[in-house]
Amino acid sequence: MKKTAFLFPGQGSQTVGMGLDFYQEYDVVREIFDMAEEISKINISKLCFKGPMEDLTQTVNLQPAVTTVNLACLTVIAKEGVTPDICAGHSLGEYSAIRASDIVSREDTFRMVFKRGELMHREAEKNKGAMHAIIGLSIDVVEEIVSEAKIEGVVAVANHNAEKQIVITGSPDPVEKASTIASSHGARSIPLKVSGAWHSDLIQGAQDEFKDFIESIPFNTPQRPTIFNVTADFEKEPDEIKSIMARQLCSPVKWYDSMCKFMAENIEIFVEVGPGKVLTGLLKKILPKDYPCQIFNVNSMKGLERFLKEIF
């Protein structure tokens, strides 16, 4: 098979109904949901299949819910005999990626994302935050704008998603200030519906506690290469991977650089494994028009069938 990358989505990809057809079709998927519910004590199947969206999007529910669906999709693909050559995940999705690379066990993946969701929710309750998407400016210009707006308080780059699609994060006033400056440079600024200032110093308390929490979780040497958000690069050492995963909470997600790294690795098949189409949408903005590849979404029986039909 051609060189294949699996990409795992994070917060923002959720939909009510996600994972239902796989749950109805596969015993192994029902087992994954049961395990996730046992660890989190949350009725994840009800949230995923029936919502309401308001409850599903609460960070403490959303992180284990999206991860459950990601790993359900991954397991179904593996059952059909397909494994990735290389993996990456966007923010929360990175936990599914390190599971796909056998760095951590399935159970520990859920323990980590549930703890992460709890801690992030707690810090968001303490510190009101905002996030805006800035469309149309380069990362260098946005970083200059953020630096200028810091006089108002906490503001930072959260995600570099595509060349000129960047998310900023922080306290509401400095984020608004940075957005106003960006607009004066000709950018579009879009406020995002989020409950906290993810990937900013406003959730530093979560990062410190999460770092202590994952000390007790066994991390293994990756069985396949994984590109990490914090570095946009590979890492083989388990202890360094732990450090990267802790730092990820308050560090920018270098997604654009990560996808450029995939191109340098000559990836021919990209598969978004999990709900929604956010990552394939970004990929189509990032890849040159003449880059030779196939792009798939596997989040339903229909998507799985199309993927298998095309590659076999």
pLDDT at site 117: 96
Quick one: average pLDDT of 54-65? 95
* Residue-range domain boundaries for the chain: 4-125+201-311, 130-191
Count Cβ atoms below 10 Å from residue 279 Cβ, excluding itself: 27
- Whether the predicted pLDDT of 46 surpasses 90: yes
Answer whether 4-125+201-311 and 130-191 agree in fold: no
Catalytic residues, by residue number, are 91, 199
According to CATH, the superfamily of the domain at 130-191 is: Malonyl-CoA ACP transacylase, ACP-binding (3.30.70.250)
- Whether the predicted pLDDT of 1 surpasses 90: no
Predicted confidence band at 312 (pLDDT cuts at 50, 70, 90)? confident
- Residue 165's alpha-carbon distances to 160, 294, 303, 304, in angstroms, are 6, 23, 27, 29
- Whether the predicted pLDDT of 279 surpasses 90: yes
Q: Which CATH number fits domain 4-125+201-311: 3.30.70.2740, 3.40.366.10, 2.120.10.30, 3.30.70.270?
A: 3.40.366.10
Predicted confidence band at 221 (pLDDT cuts at 50, 70, 90)? very high
Distance separating alpha carbons of residues 297 and 101, to the nearest angstrom = 19
- Whether the predicted pLDDT of 272 surpasses 90: yes
Mapping DSSP onto H, E and C, the string for the chain reads: CCCEEEEECCCCCCCCCCCHHHHHHCHHHHHHHHHHHHHHCCCHHHHHHHCCHHHHCCHHHHHHHHHHHHHHHHHHHHHCCCCCCEEEECCCHHHHHHHHCCCCCHHHHHHHHHHHHHHHHHHHHHCCCEEEEEECCCHHHHHHHHHHHHHHCCEEEEEEEECCEEEEEECHHHHHHHHHHHHHCCCEEEECCCCCCCCCHHHHHHHHHHHHHHCCCCCCCCCCCEEECCCCEECCCHHHHHHHHHHCCCCCECHHHHHHHHHHCCCCEEEEECCCCHHHHHHHHHCCCCCCCEEEEECCHHHHHHHHHHHC
- Whether the predicted pLDDT of 207 surpasses 90: yes
- Whether the predicted pLDDT of 23 surpasses 90: yes
In the predicted model, what is the mean pLDDT of the chain? 97
Q: What is the pLDDT of residues 91-110, one digit of tens each?
A: 999 999 999 999 999 999 99
